[in-house]
Amino acid sequence: MESEDDVVKKTRTMEARARNISHNVRCTECGSQSIEDSQADIAILLRKLIRDEIQSGKTDKEIFKKLEDDFGETVLYAPKFDLQTAALWLSPLIVAGGAVGVWAFNKHRKQTNVHIMALNLVRGVSLTPKEKETMLDLLTPPPSEGTTRSWWRRWQGQ
């Protein structure tokens, strides 16, 4: 026969389990509250159902499964991860990855414009023709297809 302390411990354990489950189940009437916090009639009935299921020996997983089967997946605050919800769960990571990619591209592009920035600085400085020739040779990026050094110098105003 169980002692009074054992009965109290068992009751407290069952109550803690019921409250834990109730905090993770959305009220179907309110939608924004858990059934533990809601005073809607359906929430009261669901709390009673959970306590009855616990007393009958069901596990928490079995209770969550029953609630999901009866009311749909939206009744749970933590829906399962599957193919249908993968895009929803992974979209923040995809957006963050895209933002990092754009940031890295812009940073790389700014670093490759150093030659152009240096040429712009040299334009306003009085240099001898020999110094100007040396600076242009050092700072001019290699010509791409269709671009010649003579075109570059014409653009520079020489």
Give 113's pLDDT tier (boundaries 50, 70, 90).
low
| Of the listed ranges 8-12, 39-43, 86-90, 112-116, the one predicted with least confidence | 112-116
129, pLDDT greater than 70: yes
- Specify the pTM: 0.50
- pLDDT reported for residue 144: 59
What amino acid is encoded at 91 in this protein?
S
- pLDDT reported for residue 112: 58
Between 145 and 106, residue with greater pLDDT: 106
CA distance 53 to 62: 9
Q: Give, rounded to a whole angstrom, the gap between the first and last alpha carbons of the chain.
A: 107
Domains of the chain (ranges plus CATH)? 4-75 (1.10.8.640), 113-156 (no CATH)
Mean pLDDT (whole number) for 88-112: 84
Give 97's pLDDT tier (boundaries 50, 70, 90).
very high
Mean pLDDT (whole number) for 103-125: 70
| Interior/surface letters 104-142, b for 16+ CB within 10 angstroms, e for the rest | eeeeeeeeeeeeeeebeebeeeeeeeeebeebbeebbee
Mean pLDDT (whole number) for 72-91: 77
| Span 32-41, pLDDT tens digits | 788 888 888 8
Q: At what angle do helices 60-71 and 41-55 cross, to 10 degrees?
A: 140
94, pLDDT greater than 60: yes
Hunting for tokens 């995809």 — which residue is that?
A: 94
Between 142 and 43, residue with greater pLDDT: 43
Give 150's pLDDT tier (boundaries 50, 70, 90).
low
- pLDDT reported for residue 69: 87
- In terms of Cβ atoms closer than 10 Å to its own Cβ (0-12, 13-18, 19+), residue 19 is middle
CA distance 21 to 50: 8
